[in-house]
């Protein structure tokens, strides 16, 4: 089992945050998806990938998700 980098919960499945490089649990990911800045973060990441930046660190974690 791994621990969520954001909430510390032990889980079997993690996903990378859309806002930064944290590996997060599904519960934290659900909170991200409904955040008002999620679409901006996703679009920015896609743009960076299309430009060849495979090491993009995200737009930064909003203070209300930390």
Residue 37, in any domain of the structure: yes
Smallest CA-to-CA distance from 17 within 3, 1, 28 is with 28
Number of domains in the chain: 1
Give 51: exposed, middle or buried? Use CB within 10 Å, 0-12, 13-18, 19+. Answer: exposed
55 in a structural domain: no
Residue 66: pLDDT band (50, 70, 90) is confident
Asked if pLDDT for residue 23 goes beyond 90, the answer is: yes
Model pTM above 0.85? yes
Share of the chain above pLDDT 90, in %: 98
- The stretch 6-34 carries a mean pLDDT of 98
C-alpha span between 19 and 16 (Å, rounded):
9
Quick one: pLDDT band at residue 24, thresholds 50, 70, 90? very high
Domain of 39 in residue numbering reads as 2-50
């Amino acid at each position: 089992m791994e621990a969520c980098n954001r909430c510390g919960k032990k889980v079997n499945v993690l996903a990378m945050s859309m806002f930064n490089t944290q590996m997060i649990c599904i519960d934290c990911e659900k909170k991200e998806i409904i955040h008002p800045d999620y679409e901006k973060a996703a679009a920015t990441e896609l743009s960076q990938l299309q430009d060849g930046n495979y090491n993009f660190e995200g737009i930064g974690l909003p203070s209300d998700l930390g």
